Amino acid sequence: MVSMSDPLRRVLGESSTKVLAKALELHTVGDLLRHYPRTYAEREVLTPLNELKVDDYVTVQAEVARVDVVPMRQRKGKMVKVVVTDGLGQLHLTFFNQAWRGGQLHAGMRGLFAGKVGVFRGQRQLTNPQTQLLDDGDGYDESMMTGLIPVYPATAKFPSWNIGKAIRVALDVVDFDDDSLPDDVRERQGLMSLREALRLIHAPDEWSQVQKARQRLKFDEAFVLQVLLAQRRAAAAAQPATPRRQIRGGLLDAFDARLPFTLTAGQQSVSEEIFDGIAQEHPMHRLLQGEVGSGKTVVAMRAMLAVADSGGQSALLAPTEVLAQQHARTLRTLLGPLAQAGELGSAEVATRVALLTGSQNAAARRTNLLEAASGAAGIVIGTHALLQENVQFAELGLVVVDEQHRFGVEQRDALRAKGDTPPHVLVMTATPIPRTVAMTVYGDLETSMLTELPAGRSPIQTTVVPVGEKPQWVERVWQRVREEVDQGRQVYVVCPKISGDSAAEDDVDVDADTLLDDEETSRRRAAAVEDVLPMLAEGPLSGLAVDMLHGRMTSEAKDDVMSRFIDGRVQVLVATTVIEVGVDVPNATVMVVLDADWFGVSQLHQLRGRVGRGNQPGLCLLVTRAPAEADARERLDGVASTLDGVLLARLDLEQRREGDVLGVLQSGRRSSLRLLRLLRDEDIIVAAREEATALVDRDPTLSVYDGLVAAIRELVDTDRADYLEKA
């Protein structure tokens, strides 16, 4: 018998195996059986031809309307021109050097035709399409006799119906004994067996069967993931950790006394949850979620100070150097002499705040590494540089990851591994994520929420400025900037690029998907910091203090310009997305994003969050040259229409593939989620989570669930190709 994990060559010939591996990344029998139909063609229902999009690879069901055999103009030989119809629209098929098609195809026949939609003389056409006749006049082809015809994601080399045939071969021989779903769970959830589900999804008679099969297969996807997460939670809970109990009269109390504001009720109660968590004898693993500007940093700093008071060190990981520098600056300022242990005039309970970033000079780096390793620094702040092997701690008690969505699980774990005993972990994200996504992506963490913004904030107004249609609006933008600066406030101008000659972007985190979707956009030259700065300083903003910030500057230069922006000596900061997350200058009130269409929804929401952080209202201007009908414009309008981060996170997610969301969880090449949709399948995810938690409670090592163990191994397997070579 053949099993799901066997290589495809056990059921298919050599050439098919090669093509499927290369074109569709299908390597095992299981890969093939989980290559589900994209849709189904109903026997009598033809594909709406008018809806076909140019450049898409399509498989259509249509009826032949006309067949003409004509000589080719430039060369010898004949071509066969066929017109197919769905009754309404038409599609042209052109076959070169296949004169025999003229004898094969006749008006009235039905078939499946597959190829890439092109345009010739204003008409959509398929050139040399793959062809499978369904009804050759004597009735339907036997092999196609299921009620619904599955249409698979396919390629020119391996059309949909050949995939269907390969799947039918595999279904006949594969052994389904190692079903990953335990019988009792399956029965409780009212789901069909794996064998039946796979048979019905590939060869259904009717839609209700597809529905039921999908239900079962979606549950599988959710369940395996949730069992993995439940195991991680259980393993973490079983580890020992040093309890960090609060001590009065130390750094924390001194910090609280110096805070220029009172904590919100939310900050108070989340702090309590965290203090409670780190006082336990097992490591805390907590996610702190809160809208941009809700004041997460203070909460994290208080936790770090509590740990310092009890003799432990904390590491704070930030995604950008600018943000790491800011955190260090804020802490040092708020702590004053309390952050100067060992220096003249330091307080008795004092500690040190070390900063480690990739681009700092060797001397600074050496000092900071030493302070971390010796334990002199109670708080060590840094970028990815923190993760390097030579960074060591004397007693790491707490790991904080700021803007966790910028990191992967591996990075969190790498930092955690630097503790002798497992440290407590607090991760923060400003991108509020829908519940099911949190359950999936951060499913191994407990969550805390900051729902309110500090009092006195007024909402940020967002306006899309379409300069393609209204060029005179650009002038108005700079006028507005001037007015704001005249009133003593400050402005960010964000550009997608550093310099005009840089192709695509160094430190600039442009959303790759967005670019692919919108080739128009990517071809256009985007605004660059080094061009925009002189343009503004010599033009519309002449006389103002304008400076720049981007990722290619040295640590010192970045720190210097940010310091001058913070104390108001720089009035307008032209920057790349290095300021996207976390940067906090309450006096900055206007955010101008140039070529805003280059950025994704979450990025824009984050960028906008840089203003409106004080008691003055914020204004965000999304300047774009994208035409009104471009997809990007919809995205900008979406961002402009709401300040609700949860809503925008949904919008963002809808535009991405689920794999991107899960990317942080697994490093395999393809997403384990084929059918499950995190947003739409909430019921399934919740049910799967409950079942998974109960199962892991009962049998933490899954001792009697071999199929499930195998499915989990496959999910976390980092190098599937390697594994297949050995198999």
What is the contact surface with ligand ADP in residues (CB under 6 A)?
A: 261, 263-264, 267, 290, 292-298, 430, 454, 582, 584, 586, 613
Could you say which of Mg ion, ligand ADP, none residue 352 binds, taking C-beta under 5 to 8 angstroms by partner kind?
none
Burial 275-307 (b: 16+ CB within 10 A, else e): bebbeeeebbbbbbbbbbbbbbbbbbbbbbbbb
Give the count of alpha carbons within 13 A of 710, CB side only.
16
Q: Which is nearer to ligand ADP, 330 or 346 (CB)?
A: 330
Tell me whether strands 377-382 and 313-317 are parallel, antiparallel or unpaired.
Answer: parallel
Stretch that binds Mg ion, among 153-161, 260-268, 576-584, 597-605 (CB under 5 A): 576-584
Query: Cβ contacts of residue 599 below 8 Å, gap of 6+?
Result: 496, 510, 511, 514, 577, 593, 607
CB atoms near residue 134 (< 10 Å): 20
Q: Which is nearer to Mg ion, 102 or 645 (CB)?
A: 645
Stretch that binds Mg ion, among 128-136, 497-505, 578-586, 663-671 (CB under 5 A): 578-586
Residue 484 is which amino acid? Answer: E
252-271: contacts with Mg ion (CB under 5 A): none
Q: Under a CB-based contact definition with an 8 Å cutoff, are residues 56 and 116 in contact?
A: yes
Task: Tell which one of 129, 164, 266, 582 touches Mg ion (CB under 5 A).
Answer: 582
CB atoms near residue 509 (< 10 Å): 20
Q: How far apart are CA 53 and CA 117, in angstroms?
A: 7
CB atoms near residue 712 (< 10 Å): 18
Residue 713 is which amino acid? Answer: R
Where does 84-206 have alpha helices with state H?
101-104, 160-173, 183-188, 194-202
Residue 415 CB, shortest distance to ligand ADP, in Å, is 19
Could you say which of ligand ADP, Mg ion, none residue 267 binds, taking C-beta under 5 to 8 angstroms by partner kind?
ligand ADP
Residue 391 CB, shortest distance to ligand ADP, in Å, is 24
Q: Which is nearer to Mg ion, 382 or 582 (CB)?
A: 582
Could you say which of Mg ion, ligand ADP, none residue 261 binds, taking C-beta under 5 to 8 angstroms by partner kind?
ligand ADP
Could you say which of Mg ion, ligand ADP, none residue 263 binds, taking C-beta under 5 to 8 angstroms by partner kind?
ligand ADP
Could you say which of ligand ADP, Mg ion, none residue 129 binds, taking C-beta under 5 to 8 angstroms by partner kind?
none
Distance of CA 668 to the CA centre of its chain: 15
Beta bridge partners of 426: 286, 400
Helix (H) / strand (E) element for 713: namely helix 706-716
Q: What share of the chain is helix, strand, coil (3-state, %, to 5)?
A: 40, 20, 40
Residue 582 CB, shortest distance to ligand ADP, in Å, is 6
80: three-class secondary structure by DSSP: strand
Q: Which two tokens stand for residue 156?
A: 């020119």
Strand ranges across the sheet with 546-549: 461-466, 619-624, 588-593, 490-494, 572-575, 546-549
Q: Under a CB-based contact definition with an 8 Å cutoff, are residues 230 and 65 in contact?
A: no
Q: Which is nearer to ligand ADP, 180 or 267 (CB)?
A: 267
Stretch that binds Mg ion, among 21-29, 73-81, 167-175, 580-588 (CB under 5 A): 580-588
Residue 400 CB, shortest distance to ligand ADP, in Å, is 12
Q: Which is nearer to ligand ADP, 204 or 290 (CB)?
A: 290
Q: Which is nearer to ligand ADP, 101 or 296 (CB)?
A: 296
Q: Which is nearer to ligand ADP, 291 or 530 (CB)?
A: 291
Beta bridge partners of 90: 85
Residue 601 CB, shortest distance to Mg ion, in Å, is 19
Q: Which is nearer to Mg ion, 404 or 571 (CB)?
A: 404
* Residues present in the chain in total: 727
Q: Which is nearer to ligand ADP, 310 or 490 (CB)?
A: 490
DSSP letters, 7-70, are BGGGTS-HHHHHHHHHHH---BHHHHHT---SEEEETT----GGGPPTT-EEEEEEEEEEEEEE
Residue 292 CB, shortest distance to ligand ADP, in Å, is 5
Q: How far apart are CA 80 and CA 82, in angstroms?
A: 6
Q: For the chain, first and last CA: distance in Å?
A: 16
Site size for Mg ion (CB under 5 A): 1
CA angle 652, 656, 660 (to 5 degrees): 115
Could you say which of ligand ADP, Mg ion, none residue 496 binds, taking C-beta under 5 to 8 angstroms by partner kind?
none
Query: Cβ contacts of residue 22 below 8 Å, gap of 6+?
Result: none
Residue 456 CB, shortest distance to ligand ADP, in Å, is 7
Residue 478 is which amino acid? Answer: W
Q: Which is nearer to ligand ADP, 612 or 638 (CB)?
A: 612
Stretch that binds Mg ion, among 366-374, 479-487, 572-580, 581-589 (CB under 5 A): 581-589
Task: Please report where in the chains the tokens 């499946």 appear, as a residue.
Answer: 112
Q: Which of 93, 87, 224 is closest to 705 using CA atoms?
A: 224
Contact flags string 669-688 toward Mg ion, x per CB under 5 A: --------------------
Q: Which is nearer to ligand ADP, 264 or 360 (CB)?
A: 264
Residue 647 CB, shortest distance to ligand ADP, in Å, is 18
Could you say which of Mg ion, ligand ADP, none residue 247 binds, taking C-beta under 5 to 8 angstroms by partner kind?
none
Q: Which is nearer to Mg ion, 117 or 648 (CB)?
A: 648
Q: Which is nearer to ligand ADP, 41 or 292 (CB)?
A: 292
Contact status: 159 vs Mg ion (CB under 5 A): no
| Helices 682-698, 207-238: inter-axial angle, 10-degree rounding | 40
Residue 660 CB, shortest distance to ligand ADP, in Å, is 23
Could you say which of Mg ion, ligand ADP, none residue 292 binds, taking C-beta under 5 to 8 angstroms by partner kind?
ligand ADP
Q: How far apart are CA 720 and CA 714, in angstroms?
A: 8
Residue 264 CB, shortest distance to ligand ADP, in Å, is 5
Residue 455 CB, shortest distance to ligand ADP, in Å, is 7
Could you say which of Mg ion, ligand ADP, none residue 294 binds, taking C-beta under 5 to 8 angstroms by partner kind?
ligand ADP
Could you say which of Mg ion, ligand ADP, none residue 295 binds, taking C-beta under 5 to 8 angstroms by partner kind?
ligand ADP
Could you say which of Mg ion, ligand ADP, none residue 250 binds, taking C-beta under 5 to 8 angstroms by partner kind?
none
Give phi and psi for 703, each to the nearest 5: -60, -30
Could you say which of ligand ADP, Mg ion, none residue 655 binds, taking C-beta under 5 to 8 angstroms by partner kind?
none
Residue 157 CB, shortest distance to Mg ion, in Å, is 49
DSSP 8-state assignment for residue 250: S
Q: Which is nearer to Mg ion, 305 or 427 (CB)?
A: 427
Q: Which two tokens stand for residue 415?
A: 């930092």
Q: How far apart are CA 675 and CA 212, in angstroms?
A: 12
Q: Which residues lie near Mg ion (CB under 5 A)?
A: 582
